[in-house]
Amino acid sequence: MTGDVDRILIPRERIADRIRELGEEISNGLASLLKGEEENEVVLVPVLTGSVIFLADLIRQLPHKVRIHMVTVSSYPGRSTTSQGAGIVGRIPEDLRDKHTLIVDDILDSGATLRLLRAEIERQSPRSLQACVLLRKKTDAAMRTPCEYVGFDIPNEFVIGYGLDYDGLYRNLPDIGVLKPQAMRDAVPINPT
């Protein structure tokens, strides 16, 4: 599997360091939102499947009472490497009214996923709504999309590893990297989300 990686963009140690910092940034941001409130509870809305590894590391940096409401959004079906438009699969979590909510996603690209989720969650009148992504591509569309917490800004390339997939594979790579063009051609399709 590692033979399919063209080059490593962000090694695991840098990811770990940055997630510790992100945990502090989010905690500080939430502290000002929670000021004067008795409540210390936050609802995370992670986007499956790409955010699971990031989520697992990030929640352990947060000192709050954390609930998790997973949501599935499909935007890169199968072997495509450009967004095909975002769609919510199944239902989005309910009961976010009056909750401090934080969307967690692996990567911000066209912004369709975040825009869609924000609009859907806003309709439930949460007390606050913020978003956190590990990666943001340096594209006009991504930069224009509101997102409170960003781990790394990266070049506009298709990346895999640390939860991110190509055609369902490579999520278990500990580092974030760029695939060899050959590996993209050879991938066998499986059910994508």
109 catalytically annotated: yes
User: 80-99: which residues touch ligand IMP (CB under 6 A)?
Assistant: 83, 86
Tell me which of 9, 105, 162, 183 binds ligand IMP, using CB under 6 A: 105
- Tell me whether residue 45 is exposed, middle or buried, using C-beta atoms within 10 angstroms of its C-beta: 0 to 12, 13 to 18, 19 or more: buried
Least Å from the CB of residue 42 to Mg ion:
21
Q: How far apart are CA 90 and CA 109, in angstroms?
A: 22
Least Å from the CB of residue 166 to ligand IMP:
7
Q: How far is CA 60 from the centre of its chain?
A: 16
Least Å from the CB of residue 181 to ligand IMP:
14
Q: How far apart are CA 97 and CA 181, in angstroms?
A: 45
* CA angle 161–117–31, rounded 5-degree value: 85
Q: How far apart are CA 8 and CA 161, in angstroms?
A: 9
In the list Mg ion, ligand IMP, none, the entry touching 4 (Cβ below 5 to 8 angstroms by class) is none
- Taking CB under 6 A as the rule, which mask of x and - marks residues 41-60 in contact with ligand IMP? ------x--x----------
In the list Mg ion, ligand IMP, none, the entry touching 164 (Cβ below 5 to 8 angstroms by class) is ligand IMP
Read off φ and ψ for residue 65, nearest 5 degrees.
-80, 120
Strand 65-68 with 71-74, pairing = unpaired
User: 38-77: which residues touch Mg ion (CB under 5 A)?
Assistant: 47, 50
Taking CB under 6 A as the binding criterion, the range among 2-10, 88-96, 105-113, 123-131 that sits at the site for ligand IMP is 105-113
Pick the closer one to Mg ion by CB: 26 or 47: 47
Q: How far apart are CA 166 and CA 169, in angstroms?
A: 5
| Closest residue by Cα to residue 104 from 54, 160, 57, 173 | 54
By beta carbon distance, the residue nearest Mg ion is: 50
- The answer to whether residue 134 forms part of the interface with ligand IMP (CB under 6 A) is no
Active-site residue set? 109
Q: What is the binding site for Mg ion (CB under 5 A)?
A: 47, 50
Q: What is the binding site for ligand IMP (CB under 6 A)?
A: 47, 50, 75-76, 83, 86, 105-113, 158-160, 164-165
